[in-house]
Structure 1
Amino acid sequence: MYRKWNYSWGNIDLDEKDKTLRILSEISLEEFRDRYSYMMDVYLSKETKKILKKSFHNEVSGIKVKKDESMSEITILFDKIQEEEEGKPPLVTIEASYEPGETFEGEERLIDKQSNYKIYIVENVDVEADHEGKPKESELTGTLKIENKSEKDRIWDLDIILDGIENTSLTEEDAKIHLKELDPEGDYTIDYNIKTEKVQTPPLKITEKINTWTETEEENNTYILNKESETEFTIILENKSDGPVTDVEITKEFPETFQKIRKVSIDEGNIDINDNIVIWKIPEISQNSQFALKLSGYILPETTDPVETGKINAKYVLRAGTFSGIGLKSADGFSKNIFKVNKDEKERAPDNWECNFVFQNKSEFPMLLENIDILSGDVDTEEKLVKFEPRVLVPPGERWESEMWELKSEDVPTFGKRVLFTLIPDLNKALSASISLMPTDLYVLSFKGEKQYSAKEIPSFRVIPIKATNKVWSEGPVDIVSFIFEDKVPNDFRPPDPNDVRLFINDNEIDRDRFEARISPDFDAHAEEYPEEHTIILKMDNVPEVVEKGKPLEIKLEYEMTSIKAKPDQEYRGDCLFKAYTIPEGPEIELVPEDIITTPIKVIHVRRKESVAKAIFPGSEEDEYEILLTFINRGNQIIDEKVIADQIPENFEILSMEPEGATEEIEDGMKIVWTIQAIEPDQEIEITYVIKGSGEYKAGETEILSKD
């Protein structure tokens, strides 16, 4: 059989024998979709839509149509287009295709949105996800509701079979529902749970991108302590479902630490900003569509506590879709109807009969009339006289009549009738979702620093080597790509050789070829004085090659400088500047001299002035002697420690001493040693001891040993 349709925009040829579709069109596929997309969605399966698409691009040879189902769908589509172009509207609006089947099981069902036979599959999803969108806590439930919205007609012998129940708590037995009858305005409900471990991706994917450094497109997620930052928040919505998402409402809650919240850009919908709460509403997001909202706010981190970015709450409805994937496999039912065969004997030809079949829908529900077999005599005979396959929707209160057929019979003919029909339901799927995207924490980068010298005080005008240690460290994890030290060597100090500067990162010494060190200005290592200060400039790139990512960081600079003619009563600091650059690129981290704790070197003018005296007095008895030792600190500095020693001949013994001292035997007598701590300027120390012996006492010299 060969079918042909002629339209104002082109011709359609369908060779049913050769199963070839050829489209000669003056309009493009896109224009065809614009005109007839609603019909394509109703009458064509996805596979048939692909065939139609290929046909528009193969006008000469045409496209093979392998399946009978696709042939039937194509015929129905172009019949309907023909009716519309000729001003003959279809009887009812049909919202899905239907594949013929004897039992209607296993096929996508034809539905009618006007039907009072309603089937609802409604799911509610309440998910709390981490900032990356991975569900942490969720509550997912669903309800199947079968409802008779007619005010007067019953439905009986209902059979509903569900598919896609794998992700639900429903069993195979639960999925096969049989109801003897459903009264007018009656309903039947089944509740179920959704298994969240098998369903991880919400239909509407929500992504939040945060950039704390708006001068580059690369995303940066860190702040610098005490440095104001403009932060951009981009919320991206992507519909990953098989249908449109509607009634979308996104609420972004900013913490109070963010100020001046504003809209940067918006792809779709409207927003309302009230203090730190932003509400974004979009009526509908079509399948595979993506919309973005970019917001901006300012923050000044005053502590190193992590900065919370604020929660996102999303509400939306997915119509004609479910989260679990549950669907309707088949739905049958019956209500009031009547059918008959009209038998009219011809006026001028007795015993010649003109007959036709009439089906009348007497209910308030649309019915699908699929197949009629007219049998000779009654239903028990196997002799088929006529067969009709109308596959037509008969609206409530309407009737369908077949073509006439003729037969000869002396008696009024009787027929058996086998009629296949069923009620057409209205299927409504809906997903009501509430998704909470939890905030993430952004780190606040902070470095601290200190510079220490091996000596806190040095005497004036002396040549003294001093070790300098300059250390900076991060408070928490940080990733940097490079850094610069600018460390000043004070005037009156000789700088180190640049090759002797040492660098440590996290207690590991860095090879000299990995960093650059130089001293500015140039200097003469043999000069007699250094009236100006010098700067050690140390730079290191490619820090990630020697430091593990995401770890705290400690950087230490060591070198030796030498005091040359340091002047009395001076303090030498040697300020330091530190700069670091983050990964990815972000604001510069900087420690200025005021941020680095530096203990200065004090220069003291020390000139030692001391007096020591020894006096001998007769004792209270014969052969006794009292010895008095005095020490006076006449200088201007504390003497930390002084050792005073005296000795007595071997023929004498010690009777008493004040203060106590330590004694030791020597070759020709005994030695007494006193250690005196912390002698203040102008302080006089007296030591008294008494000895007794035989013979003449000859006083020795008193030894004075300094340990200042």
Structure 2
Amino acid sequence: MLGDKLEGTLHEVEKATLTSEGEIVKQTVKGVLTVNNPSSEDRIYDIDVMLDQADATDIGGDHVSVDELEAGSNYSMKYKVTGKRMLILRERLDTNPARSQENSLSVAPSEDGGPIALELEVENTAHVGINGVVVTRQLPDEISFENTGNAALEGNELTWTVGDLAAGEKQVLSIEGKIMVSGTKAIDAGVASATYTSDATLSNLNFRELDAFSRGFSYMHVQEDERPDNWICRTTFENRSSFAVDLVKLQVRMKGSDDLLFDIGDVPQDVKPHGKWESEERTVMALSKPDFTTNLAYTILPRASRSTEGSLSLQPKKFQVVEADLEKTYSTSGLRSFRAQQVGACLTLTNNGSADINLMRITDDIPGLFEAPDVSKITIKVNGKEIDSEQIKAEINAGITLEKNNRSPDGDGFTLTITVGARGPVGLKPGKSMTVEYELNAPGPTEHENITVSAPARTEFSAERYGPVCTRDSSVVPSINIIHNRRKFGAGKMTQKIGGKGRHEVLIMFNNEGDTGLKDVTLKDVIPENFEIKDWIVRGNGNKRDDCEMTSEAGDGGTHLAWHIPLVGKGEEIMISFDITGPGAIDGELGNIFHGVHFGDEDESEIESLPETVEDAEETKEEVVEEATEETSESEEESTDDTTEEEAENKVSWREDVLLRVMDAAGIDEKHRDDFVIHAANFDLDDNGYLKKAELEAAAKAWNENSTDEDSEEADEAAEDEEASENAEAEEEATEEVAEEATEEDAAEESSDESSSDEKACPICAVMCPKDATTCSVCSFAFI
């Protein structure tokens, strides 16, 4: 039909976010009702819009009225829709499609990648068809598909053009590919979305009526017949607008009569723009020109339309990476042969991925060195908290499983299998650790040279019950070496009297001759009552040890002393020396009693932690004697008269009987003993802290010469410088003579003093040794 129409439209737009199962998370449906006057010249008025199925909207009724619309104008009203759906989009992602019980979104890093299944589904839930359904999905770089079925893949976007869906129809796209993961961070899985259109409203809202008026009217055409008082009548409707008009009703009566002359209803032919409609002629009788009343009803022809467009998107997902590191450690790396020992085993599983680890299985090799552990005493902690025993399933089987090379010759060993998460998720969070601890008993490993026994472990774990399983071997594998070391040591003590009343020097020796160092060594001694200890020093291989402590306490027989040494290295000789003072002398046999040593574990590291050892002390001292020069004599001359007796005695030691004999032979009165000791301390030419007979005689010669010089100085001051020079030269010559003949004089001294004895004294420590001994039994001095 030509002409303008009264236009009415209903348009709705849906935007929704759904879960992967298609449930609504968020939905908005907005509609617009529009009435439009398309005419360029005619106004319309008394516009009525009658609606059906408005219950799902917020319009508030089924009638909308508009007074008028000028040419070319329109009226619109917005509304909202709730509780209605047309299209459902669903998605199923599965990283372990081999197990169909549940879908999984966890993934394990792998060089070859893992499988992934993608399934997209669209369903029309409306009572009308929908058109132009298109599903698109963004894919991460980690996912690839070789066969996409009915979909097209361009770049990282998968497009599935579904087309039209009839009412209640469902379509599914299923494809499988590969997912490659190298890192440990969660991966964005991408988002699936769909768009559609429909020629109906999502709310089911529809027009029931749509009408309006424009320029249209009716009139009567009356003509008198040839016979008087007979009138020929015809009614006419004229449409003077640009609209096509539907003549709905035209009724004509004569005034004063209830009878209808014309009763025209819903004319089949619409009245064209600027057209008219005429009825058939009818003859009425009237004495005068008849009057008529008219009832006219018409409406502009409507043009109504409904439409919907929608866009759906699914909630974004992430692939959670399942990754962990397994470490296994033993409390020791070595076992002593033929000894029963306890070893602590600890396995630590650290979650390095982005997914919770909820189920794990550990396979642990227990070498044949050990007995089977007691599984009831295994302790497992997650995040520092011990887990319920019902969550643990542990089994012991004969024979090891993992290690192929470094096996124990003592037996086949065992395999410990532990399942954690038997009753429910473990919940090991990313960054947290699980520890498995148990004790192993080694009954007595046999000696096997150059054999190392390894004890690897393996774990299989997953985030989901039916998810992919990640397998990792322990990054730290403990190994056990069999140590065939034996302890061997020597120990002794010597007490000797030194210058001064009641003064004694004590030497305690401990020599570690075993295969390893010894930890926590304690050397003990007892000094008599009323004696007190002065300075003490601990040397290891001749070097001072600063890491030692001494304790003392009163006890039976005197004061009990104990020196605590943290470590005595392999081959290290410990020498403790100290002075004691008290009333009287100490019996020789009693003073040489060794009061014992106690030591702890062997040093398994076998790493020398002590200061570097030096040459044998005696060899060094002999070299000093041979290399003594004039500098020694000059330094002795520089000694001042202010040196105290105590300083001299602390500096050197001597045999008191030898000292007195030398003084008597040189004519030195015993009342000058203390002064002579201070003087003689400067004649320790070999700097070994002990004054031999030759050194004492040189000191006595110098003493007498100095005394003569002092007398001359009183007699003649002028000759003092000359005499002092001569005396200095004489003293220098005597010193050189002593240095050159020190060894001969030592031998002569020992021979003259002890010719009637079967023993000889060590010049270093003064211990009496057999006459035919070649080395001192205490300080290892070599007799020449």
AA at the equivalent of 1:235: L
Mapping 1:513-662, distance limit 5 Å:
515=393, 517-521=395-399, 531-536=410-415, 538=417, 543=421, 545-547=423-425, 554=434, 556=436, 558=438, 560-567=440-447, 570-580=451-461, 583-591=464-472, 594-659=473-538, 661-662=550-551
- Displacement after TM superposition at 1:580 (Å): 4.6
> Secondary structure of 1:252's partner?
strand
Are 1:451 and 2:328 counterparts?
Answer: yes
What is the alpha-carbon distance in structure 2 between the residues aligned to residue 434 and residue 600 of structure 1? 63
What is the alpha-carbon distance in structure 1 between the residues aligned to residue 434 and residue 46 of structure 2? 79
What is the alpha-carbon distance in structure 2 between the residues aligned to residue 563 and residue 532 of structure 1? 12
Please name the residue that 2:596 is paired with: 703
Please tell me whether the aligned partners of residues 45 and 212 of structure 2 are also in contact (alpha carbons under 8 angstroms).
Answer: yes
> Secondary structure of 2:142's partner?
coil
User: Structure 2 vs 1, CA of residues 602 and 537 (structure 1 numbering), >3 Å: closer, same or farther?
Assistant: closer
- Displacement after TM superposition at 1:607 (Å): 0.8
Q: Deviations over 1:145-198 (max 9, x none)?
A: 43222344442333446788888887889x844243421xx122446474xxx7
What is the alpha-carbon distance in structure 2 between the residues aligned to residue 192 and residue 375 of structure 1? 45
AA at the equivalent of 2:493: K
What is the alpha-carbon distance in structure 2 between the residues aligned to residue 461 and residue 235 of structure 1? 68
Are 1:396 and 2:276 counterparts?
Answer: no
Please name the residue that 1:334 is paired with: 213
Please name the residue that 1:187 is paired with: 73
Please tell me whether the aligned partners of residues 459 and 606 of structure 1 are also in contact (alpha carbons under 8 angstroms).
Answer: yes
Please tell me whether the aligned partners of residues 456 and 474 of structure 2 are also in contact (alpha carbons under 8 angstroms).
Answer: no
What is the alpha-carbon distance in structure 2 between the residues aligned to residue 555 and residue 396 of structure 1? 92
Q: Deviations over 1:285-304 (max 9, x none)?
A: 34333323334442222223
Are 1:308 and 2:188 counterparts?
Answer: yes
Are 1:664 and 2:544 counterparts?
Answer: no
AA at the equivalent of 2:253: L
What is the alpha-carbon distance in structure 2 between the residues aligned to residue 334 and residue 390 of structure 1? 16
| TM-score, with length taken from structure 1 | 0.69
Are 1:257 and 2:142 counterparts?
Answer: yes
What is the alpha-carbon distance in structure 2 between the residues aligned to residue 372 and residue 490 of structure 1? 111
Q: Deviations over 1:303-355 (max 9, x none)?
A: 232221112344433433256x76656532112434456779999x9978887
| TM-score, with length taken from structure 2 | 0.63
Higher relative contact order (CA 8 A, sep 6+): 1
- Displacement after TM superposition at 1:116 (Å): 3.0
What is the alpha-carbon distance in structure 2 between the residues aligned to residue 294 and residue 400 of structure 1? 64
> Secondary structure of 2:212's partner?
strand
* Match of residue 466, structure 1, among 340, 343, 357: 343
Give 1 or 2 for the bigger CA radius of gyration. Answer: 2
Unaligned ranges ≥5, structure 1:
1-91, 93-111, 523-528
* Match of residue 224, structure 1, among 108, 120, 145: 108
Please name the residue that 2:123 is paired with: 238
What is the alpha-carbon distance in structure 2 between the residues aligned to residue 703 and residue 672 of structure 1? 11
Please tell me whether the aligned partners of residues 20 and 92 of structure 2 are also in contact (alpha carbons under 8 angstroms).
Answer: no
Are 1:490 and 2:383 counterparts?
Answer: no
Please tell me whether the aligned partners of residues 131 and 163 of structure 2 are also in contact (alpha carbons under 8 angstroms).
Answer: yes
User: Structure 2 vs 1, CA of residues 503 and 694 (structure 1 numbering), >3 Å: closer, same or farther?
Assistant: closer
Please tell me whether the aligned partners of residues 486 and 576 of structure 1 are also in contact (alpha carbons under 8 angstroms).
Answer: yes
Are 1:285 and 2:173 counterparts?
Answer: no
Please tell me whether the aligned partners of residues 379 and 386 of structure 2 are also in contact (alpha carbons under 8 angstroms).
Answer: no
What is the alpha-carbon distance in structure 1 between the residues aligned to residue 26 and residue 137 of structure 2? 20
Q: Root-mean-square deviation (CA), in Å?
A: 4.2
Q: Deviations over 1:187-233 (max 9, x none)?
A: 22446474xxx747664322222111222444222212336222222
Please tell me whether the aligned partners of residues 121 and 428 of structure 1 are also in contact (alpha carbons under 8 angstroms).
Answer: yes
What is the alpha-carbon distance in structure 2 between the residues aligned to residue 518 and residue 350 of structure 1? 131
What is the alpha-carbon distance in structure 1 between the residues aligned to residue 490 and residue 253 of structure 2? 147
- Displacement after TM superposition at 1:609 (Å): 1.9
**Deviates most, 229-238 or 698-707:** 229-238
Identify, as 1 or 2, the structure richer in strand. 1
AA at the equivalent of 1:704: V
Please name the residue that 1:28 is paired with: none
Mapping 1:6-155, distance limit 5 Å:
116-125=5-14, 143-155=32-44
Please tell me whether the aligned partners of residues 314 and 435 of structure 1 are also in contact (alpha carbons under 8 angstroms).
Answer: yes
What is the alpha-carbon distance in structure 2 between the residues aligned to residue 371 and residue 293 of structure 1? 57
What is the alpha-carbon distance in structure 1 between the residues aligned to residue 357 and residue 585 of structure 2? 83
User: Structure 2 vs 1, CA of residues 343 and 538 (structure 1 numbering), >3 Å: closer, same or farther?
Assistant: farther
> Secondary structure of 2:190's partner?
coil
User: Structure 2 vs 1, CA of residues 322 and 484 (structure 1 numbering), >3 Å: closer, same or farther?
Assistant: closer
Identity, % of aligned positions: 20
Please name the residue that 1:693 is paired with: 582
> Secondary structure of 2:365's partner?
strand
Please tell me whether the aligned partners of residues 360 and 460 of structure 2 are also in contact (alpha carbons under 8 angstroms).
Answer: yes
Please name the residue that 1:367 is paired with: 245
Please name the residue that 2:92 is paired with: 209
What is the alpha-carbon distance in structure 2 between the residues aligned to residue 224 and residue 187 of structure 1? 64
User: Structure 2 vs 1, CA of residues 355 and 390 (structure 1 numbering), >3 Å: closer, same or farther?
Assistant: farther
- Displacement after TM superposition at 1:666 (Å): 0.9
AA at the equivalent of 2:266: P
User: Structure 2 vs 1, CA of residues 490 and 625 (structure 1 numbering), >3 Å: closer, same or farther?
Assistant: same
What is the alpha-carbon distance in structure 2 between the residues aligned to residue 342 and residue 681 of structure 1? 143
Identify, as 1 or 2, the structure richer in helix. 2
Unaligned ranges ≥5, structure 2:
401-407, 539-548, 602-784
- Displacement after TM superposition at 1:570 (Å): 3.9
What is the alpha-carbon distance in structure 1 between the residues aligned to residue 564 and residue 394 of structure 2? 51
Please tell me whether the aligned partners of residues 367 and 393 of structure 1 are also in contact (alpha carbons under 8 angstroms).
Answer: no
AA at the equivalent of 2:445: K
Please tell me whether the aligned partners of residues 576 and 596 of structure 1 are also in contact (alpha carbons under 8 angstroms).
Answer: no
What is the alpha-carbon distance in structure 1 between the residues aligned to residue 99 and residue 282 of structure 2? 81
What is the alpha-carbon distance in structure 1 between the residues aligned to residue 390 and residue 178 of structure 2? 41
Please name the residue that 2:46 is paired with: 157
What is the alpha-carbon distance in structure 1 between the residues aligned to residue 435 and residue 244 of structure 2? 81
User: Structure 2 vs 1, CA of residues 247 and 152 (structure 1 numbering), >3 Å: closer, same or farther?
Assistant: farther
Please name the residue that 2:722 is paired with: none
What is the alpha-carbon distance in structure 1 between the residues aligned to residue 98 and residue 282 of structure 2? 83
AA at the equivalent of 1:390: D
What is the alpha-carbon distance in structure 1 between the residues aligned to residue 294 and residue 65 of structure 2? 29
Please tell me whether the aligned partners of residues 157 and 181 of structure 1 are also in contact (alpha carbons under 8 angstroms).
Answer: no
